[in-house]
């Protein structure tokens, strides 16, 4: 990165005074303003304004350590101001090029005491937000140290509307609550039907990305970037002052982080925009991450997958091969009596391979292929899975041959049962086994309480594990999709083999719990997906699960809303999650899932309001085709999309997949209409969207041949 040094001034005499000092910086376009103050007792604080409106009122900064407080008694010993304006190309992404344009202010602080500690606070001021981090140069008085807390605060300028989930150390698989800050109140949700471990900090801590909307029309998002060697930051709200403070996830003994200088914390991010669309367009989180560490990336492939997966969740088949009572300790698997409804059989996997091959889907995920599934869930056992021993009815070599003959790649599944020491011990063998057998992508998972006991999914120990998995899979040229990790912070810039994470309440909750409300997917892009791609597993076509004897279960969406999610929920790895037979019943609609891209040159956020609706148009990478996805919450609406992003002078064939006139997410979710029109950049699509509905559009430059018999859009 090229950073231009603008100035380095301020006479040391002035710097060392015990007078309060104020430093200022503004963004390249001058709309974002930062003020940093060090008061007379040496306490640093900052304030942020956007276009003359207060975003963050004066708020504290600093860290707490076992060795002492790093929150006051500071003096400024130097100030650097630099700037950067560069453009870089992500390996894959929502856009082809990303501009990183900011002013940086580094405040070098030293404590006013014998054996002083030095701490730098680095601020980057962008036109759409701010990032700041603490950086500790190597120094004699601070080498190894233990972080016991962080004093970063975010004092909000009003009683904003917030979209939040509880500050749970183990999981983010919650529905969002929308409330004002003053009425924010976290209660434990019922565990019934929900399989994940929970550990809720207190009644006023929430997770990031936290999305807010102010009464004076600002959209504000708080999160973090580049979470490395540090726990996730949650936010604790003091309602009397509307101030959030950083609440780090502790380890087993209550410490937050063990670090060694030189060291820098993750960036704290404050993204601000006058429209909800502006939040989605922000690239601050990616820009604050380190560039790609993988020298050669041609093996990294954005892709779609199908898999032996939803049939397990709806109970058509099972992960396990036999009943636990028929297995026993150290079984001879060739003698174990199967229960007869195992999902990951060679024959069933071939069925998915055939379906993928027939429809141009690159990957086939198979869960339940390896021994251990019959007796693990909720047991907190140390050594359940070895990741290299298939069940007797899953023929690894034959499937390797068969998939290769059909041009399809199998995707490995590693459910670790959260026994992470076990996984760490076995992962080299597991990745070698994958490569030998033709797998170059793995879906990992961390269901349950972490082993070692007392560690949390969002603590430093696990953060280091997720990052280690990203780095190690990259060494083996393996792509990775993590389920149940901490929520992403833009690390996929550094490790683009880390295609996606779940880290949210995915579509699967519609299979076996109260499910996700119709508004859920309108909130996710502003919260969970701010940090990185989501493996939400969209594309359920058989909406009501009565077919599987699961009355009352199924997505709270229409069928065409499931299609829209391929565009509105960004990921370079998208699952066509339903069963082949459910797609075969709706091949006309499945065409969209076949066609939709997973890597993009451009993305336009056309209609957006968190909790209400979202419409995004994206241009396929290296192609002239565009795709639109539009979703609504429980309210119907009309979506209006000017197609002005299309190339002027070209005519496109638009295929619109929309809700049927009588469709409704609950009463009639599977009625849909497919229409074809000739459109140009001057056309304005006006599309009705029913309650809990959505629509998808593909737009392809058309030859006269393609437009035969096709009407112009009016």
Question: Residues with catalytic annotation?
Answer: 508
DSSP designation for 419: B
User: Which of ligand NOJ, Ca ion, none does 445 bind, CB closer than 5 to 8 A by kind?
Assistant: ligand NOJ
326 vs 612, which CB is nearer to Ca ion?
612
Chain length of the chain: 714
- 160 is written with which tokens? 């904003």
Site membership for Ca ion, residue 611 (CB under 5 A): yes
Nearer to ligand NOJ, 362 or 367 (CB): 367
Binding residues for ligand NOJ restricted to 381-420, rule: CB under 6 A = 415
Number of residues that bind ligand NOJ (CB under 6 A): 8
* Strand pairing category for 613-620 and 626-632: antiparallel
Q: Which of 343, 372, 445, 538 binds ligand NOJ (CB under 6 A)?
A: 445
Three-state DSSP state, 7: strand
In this structure, what is the dihedral angle of CA atoms 191, 195, 197, 198, given to the nearest 10 degrees?
-40
CA dihedral of 700, 701, 706, 710, whole degrees rounded to 10: 80
Report which of 337, 336, 344, 350 is spatially closest to residue 320, judged by C-alpha positions: 344
659 sits near ligand NOJ (criterion: CB under 6 A): no
Interaction between residue 150 and ligand NOJ (CB under 6 A): no
Measured at the alpha carbon of residue 619, what is the angle toward residues 613 and 623, in degrees to the nearest 5? 160
User: Would you say 582 or 632 has its CB closer to Ca ion?
Assistant: 632
Which entry of ligand NOJ, Ca ion, none binds 508, CB below 5 to 8 A by partner kind? ligand NOJ
Q: Report what 163 binds from Ca ion, ligand NOJ, none; CB cut-off 5-8 Å by kind.
A: none
Of 311, 367, 440, 481, the residue at the interface with ligand NOJ (CB under 6 A) is: 367
Say whether residue 342 binds ligand NOJ (CB under 6 A): no
> Could you give the angle at which helices 396-405 and 346-359 cross, rounded to 10 degrees?
20
How far, in Å, are 144, 247, 322 from residue 236 at the CA level? 27, 6, 46
Decide which of Ca ion, ligand NOJ, none touches 611; Cβ closer than 5 to 8 Å per partner kind: Ca ion
Q: Residue 305: enclosing H or E segment and its boundaries?
A: strand 303-308
| Nearest-approach distance from CB 377 to ligand NOJ, in angstroms | 9
Other Cβ atoms less than 10 A from the Cβ of 138: the count is 11
Phi, psi for residue 208 in degrees, rounded to 5 = -105, 160
Tokens of 708: 């035969």
String of contacts with Ca ion for each residue 569-598, x by CB under 5 A: ------------------------------
Stated as kind and residue range, the H or E segment containing 10 is: none
367 lines the binding site for Ca ion (CB under 5 A) = no
The distance between the two most distant Cα atoms of the chain, rounded to a whole number of Å, is 85
Tell me if 519 contacts Ca ion by CB under 5 A.
yes
Task: Work out what residue 170 binds among ligand NOJ, Ca ion, none; the CB cut-off runs from 5 to 8 Å by kind.
Answer: none
- Cβ atoms of residues 514 and 550 within 8 Å: no
* 574 neighbors 538 (Cβ within 8 angstroms): yes
Here's the x/- map for ligand NOJ, 256-295, by CB under 6 A: it reads as: ----------------------------------------
Q: What's the CA gap between 164 and 178, in Å, rounded?
A: 7
Enumerate residues 458-487 that contact ligand NOJ by CB under 6 A: 483
Strands 711-712 and 672-679, bridge-based pairing: parallel
Among 168, 251, 601, 633, binds Ca ion (CB under 5 A): 633
612 in contact with Ca ion (CB under 5 A): yes
Q: x/- string (CB under 6 A) for ligand NOJ, residues 503-542?
A: -----x----------------------------------
At its nearest, how many Å lie between ligand NOJ and the CB of residue 306?
Answer: 14
Binding site for ligand NOJ (CB under 6 A): 309, 367, 415, 445, 447, 483, 502, 508
Binding site for Ca ion (CB under 5 A): 519, 611-612, 633
């Amino acid at each position: 990165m090229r950073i231009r040094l603008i100035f380095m001034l301020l006479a040391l005499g002035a710097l060392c005074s015990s007078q309060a000092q104020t430093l200022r910086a503004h963004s390249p376009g001058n709309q974002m303003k930062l003020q940093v103050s060090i008061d007379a007792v040496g306490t640093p604080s900052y304030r942020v304004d956007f276009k003359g409106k207060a975003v963050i009122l004066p708020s504290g900064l600093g860290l707490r350590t076992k060795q002492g407080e790093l929150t006051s008694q500071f003096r400024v010993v130097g100030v650097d101001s630099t700037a950067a304006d560069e453009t870089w190309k992500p390996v894959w992404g929502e856009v082809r090029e990303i501009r990183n344009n900011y002013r940086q202010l580094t405040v070098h602080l030293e404590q006013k005491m014998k054996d002083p500690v030095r701490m730098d606070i680095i601020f980057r001021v962008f036109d759409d937000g701010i990032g700041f981090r603490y950086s500790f140069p190597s120094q004699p008085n601070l080498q190894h140290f233990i972080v016991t807390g962080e004093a970063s605060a975010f004092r909000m300028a009003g009683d904003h509307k917030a979209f939040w989930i509880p500050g749970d150390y183990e999981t983010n698989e919650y529905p969002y609550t929308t409330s004002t800050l003053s009425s924010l109140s976290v209660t434990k949700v019922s565990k019934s039907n929900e399989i994940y471990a929970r550990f809720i900090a207190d009644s006023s801590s929430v997770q990031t990305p936290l999305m807010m909307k102010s009464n004076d029309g600002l959209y504000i998002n708080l999160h973090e970037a580049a979470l490395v060697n540090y726990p996730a930051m949650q936010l604790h709200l003091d309602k009397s002052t509307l101030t959030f403070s950083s609440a780090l996830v502790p380890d087993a003994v209550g410490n937050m982080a063990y670090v060694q200088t030189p060291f820098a914390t993750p960036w704290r991010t404050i993204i601000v925009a006058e429209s909800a669309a502006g939040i989605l367009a922000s690239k601050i989180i990616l820009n604050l991450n380190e560039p790609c560490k993988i020298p050669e990336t041609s093996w990294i492939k954005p892709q779609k997958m199908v898999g032996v997966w939803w049939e397990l969740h709806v109970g058509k088949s099972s992960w396990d091969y036999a009943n636990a009572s028929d297995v026993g300790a150290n079984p001879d698997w060739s003698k174990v009596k199967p229960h007869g409804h195992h999902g990951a059989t060679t024959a069933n996997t071939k069925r998915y391979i055939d379906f993928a091959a027939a429809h141009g889907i690159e990957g086939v995920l198979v869960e339940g292929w390896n021994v251990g599934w019959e007796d693990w869930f909720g047991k907190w056992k140390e050594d359940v899975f070895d990741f290299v021993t298939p069940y007797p009815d899953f023929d690894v070599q034959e499937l390797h041959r068969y998939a290769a003959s059909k041009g399809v790649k199998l995707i490995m599944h590693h459910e670790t049962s959260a026994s992470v020491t076990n996984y760490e011990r076995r992962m080299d063998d597991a990745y070698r086994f994958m490569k030998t057998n033709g797998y170059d992508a793995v879906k990992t998972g961390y269901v349950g309480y972490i082993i070692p006991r007392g560690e949390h999914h969002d603590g430093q120990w696990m953060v280091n594990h997720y990052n280690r998995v990203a780095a190690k899979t990259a060494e083996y040229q393996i792509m990775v999709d993590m389920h149940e990790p901490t929520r992403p912070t833009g690390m996929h810039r550094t490790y683009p083999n880390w295609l996606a994470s779940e880290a949210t309440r995915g579509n699967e909750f519609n299979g076996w719990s109260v499910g996700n409300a119709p508004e859920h997917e309108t909130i996710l892009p502003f919260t969970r997906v701010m940090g990185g791609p989501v493996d939400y597993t969209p594309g359920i076509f058989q909406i009501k699960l009565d077919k599987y004897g699961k009355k009352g279960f199924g997505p709270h969406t229409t069928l065409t809303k499931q299609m829209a999610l391929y565009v509105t929920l960004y990921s370079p790895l998208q699952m066509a999650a339903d069963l082949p037979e459910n797609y075969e019943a709706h091949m006309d609609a499945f065409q969209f899932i076949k066609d939709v891209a997973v890597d993009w040159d451009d993305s336009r956020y056309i209609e957006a309001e968190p909790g209400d609706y979202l419409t995004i148009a994206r241009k396929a990478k290296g192609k002239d085709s565009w795709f639109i996805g539009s979703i609504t919450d429980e309210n119907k609406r009309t979506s209006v999309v000017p197609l002005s992003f299309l190339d002027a002078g070209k005519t496109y064939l638009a295929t619109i997949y929309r809700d049927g006139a009588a469709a409704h997410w609950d009463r009639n979710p599977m009625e849909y209409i497919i229409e074809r029109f000739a459109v140009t950049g001057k056309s304005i699509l006006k599309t009705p969207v029913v309650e809990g509905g959505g629509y998808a559009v593909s737009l392809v430059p058309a030859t006269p041949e393609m437009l035969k018999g096709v009407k112009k859009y009016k």
